[in-house]
Amino acid sequence: MVKRIERGLCEIYHEDPDRADALVFGRIADANRRGFLRGAGLGAMAAAIGVTAIPYARNMPGGLIPAALAETVEDFEIEGKHEGLIVHNDRPLNMETPAHLLDDDVTPADRFFVRNNGTLPDPINADEWRLTVDGEVNDEIELSLDELKNDFEAVTLKLQLECGGNGRAGFNPPPSGNQWTIGAIGNAEWTGVRVADILRRAGLKPTATYTGHYGYDEHLSMDPERQALSRGGPIAKMMDPHTIVAYAMNGEDIPIHHGYPVRIVAPGWAGSVSQKWLTRIWVRDREHDGQGMTGLSYRVPRYPVAPDTEVPHEDMEVMGSMIVKSVISYPEAGTEVDAGRPFEVRGQAWAGDQHVTDVEVSTDFGSTWRRAELSDPPNRFSWQRWRADVTLPSVGYYEIWARATDNLGQAQPMVVPGWNPRGYLNNACHRIHVTAA
């Protein structure tokens, strides 16, 4: 008796994309023009997607899984969260926002992604909360929430936070970790005080190099000797006026899932630097070595590596700024539109420490691109709205792709960028499918 082995679509395509096309669709490839679909193969692909025609099939790259088959959503409900969020894990809780729920310029708290590493803290009494700042400072200080709010200048900024592993699901072979697609990103309005002002109050010593952050959350093992997460950042990033200790999100107390009563917001860097449920900032004379700062955690190779390469720890470096990226938030994937009539396509774009200068869209699998309208951000480190009017020439299946470029000239690639062991920094173009009727 032969045991049947079930395999996923991504796994089959990773092993041999051309053979996968034949297995899944019975594809016939033109030997001289790789990427063309003909006859029964094209018909099978159209049938699998649920359409009668794919007008730009001749431009479809070989081995490309149609977006209509690559997108999945799970149903799961968490109190205080939109029912449409995708749950990747419930211990610790990790939830992703589908692209069409990222259409607001300011992300509502109930649609903001959740990334936890340890337990969700028990209810925290804000009156008892204290922030300790110690280490390479002239004066160790301890601040209450009232002192934080009353002794320092308050700032309100729209700031984007993104998980370092956003896009991990696109890598092959799949690295370990939550298989985020595109929605581990949000852009909220945060109110708080500048970390720089707090550090100046304590007085930085000349040896101050890095910060280490600590919070209320506990390791899943409940071992008090183990940390759930303790990351930090270079002093230069902490002194940036947009890096804040926040106590409000969208004009209200920060929800418990997002760090109540106080968290760091270090925009443009991996969200793990923005410690939730903050209790301590330890100023170090060296790079911080807390949980999430060593080994392969939030580190990428110092040089390009082939997929599935085992990279020595000494050849890995800590991630800094995130990279340019965009999302299509409207229309929702799978929408039916009228052939020959214009409709709006829009979304958001962001670029870590940089800013976005250009967004383009394609409806023919990247063969041609047209520039979208791009709005200026309300402040640095906020994402930017883009929009374009698109007309599809005939009935059938189409994919809309978006590509952003930053002020350094760095553009999103159409394919998944260089592999790394933990699946960080995937900024391949986002794509959705629509049907023209």
Q: What is the pLDDT of residue 2?
A: 37
Report d(CA 16, CA 81) in Å as an integer: 39
16: which residues sit within 8 A by CB, 6+ positions away? none
> Are residues 35 and 94 both part of a single domain?
no
Q: Where do the DSSP E strands lie in 79-179?
A: 86-90, 93-96, 114-115, 130-135, 141-144, 154-162
Q: Rounded CA gap, 48 and 69, in Å? A: 8
Beta-sheet strands, E only, within 69-207: 86-90, 93-96, 114-115, 130-135, 141-144, 154-162, 185-194
Of 293, 318, 343, the last residue of a domain is: 318
Residues 218 and 151 in one domain: yes
Residue 37: per-residue pLDDT: 55
Query: Which two tokens mark 283?
Result: 């100023």
Instruction: State whether 370 and 417 are in the same domain.
Output: yes
Q: How many CB atoms lie within 10 A of CB 3?
A: 4
> What are the beta bridge partners of residue 406?
356
Is residue 81 assigned to a domain? Answer: no
The answer to whether residues 262 and 224 belong to one domain is: yes
Same domain, 161 and 219: yes
Q: Do 234 and 346 have their domain in common? A: no
283 with 354, same domain: the answer is no
Q: How many domains would you assign to the chain?
A: 3
17-25 vs 39-49: helix crossing angle, rounded to 10: 80
Q: How far apart are the first and last CA of the chain?
A: 47
Residue 386 in domain:
yes
What amino acid occupies position 213? H
Q: Could you tell me if 371 and 427 lie in one domain?
A: yes
Residue 73 lies in a domain: no
Which structural domain, as residue segments, surrounds residue 33? 9-65
In the structure encoding, which two tokens stand for residue 338, read together? 């009228």
**Alpha-carbon span 427 to 150, nearest angstrom:** 40
In a domain, 85, yes or no: no
Task: Please indicate, yes or no, whether residues 15 and 115 belong to a single structural domain of this protein.
Answer: no
Q: Which amino acid appears at position 273 of this protein?
A: V
> Quick check: helix, strand or coil at residue 49?
helix
What CATH number is associated with residue 178?
3.90.420.10
Cβ atoms of residues 168 and 251 within 8 Å: no
* Residue 260 backbone phi and psi in degrees, to 5: -50, 140
Residue that is last in its domain, among 283, 298, 318:
318
Bridge partner list, 162: 185, 270
Q: Would you say residue 70 lies in a domain? A: no
Q: Indicate which CATH number applies to the domain containing 396.
A: 2.60.40.650
**Position 15 in a domain:** yes
In a domain, 1, yes or no: no
CA–centroid distance for 33 within its chain: 35
Residue at 172 is within a domain: yes
Q: Report pLDDT for 23.
A: 58
pLDDT, one tens digit for every residue, the chain (437 residues): 333 334 455 556 666 666 666 655 654 444 333 444 556 667 767 766 667 788 887 787 766 777 766 654 444 456 788 889 998 888 898 999 999 999 999 999 999 999 999 999 988 999 999 999 999 999 999 999 999 999 999 999 999 999 999 999 999 998 989 999 999 999 999 999 999 999 999 999 999 999 999 999 999 888 888 999 999 999 999 999 999 999 999 999 999 999 999 999 999 999 999 999 999 999 999 999 999 999 999 999 999 999 999 999 999 999 999 999 999 999 999 999 999 999 999 999 999 999 999 999 999 999 999 999 999 999 999 999 999 999 999 999 999 999 999 999 999 999 999 999 999 999 999 999 999 99
**Does 260 lie in the same domain as 118?**
yes
Question: Do 299 and 351 fall into the same domain?
Answer: no
- Among the candidates 318, 337, 355, a domain finishes at 318
Same domain, 17 and 121: no
Four-point Cα dihedral 394, 57, 365, 338, nearest 10: 20
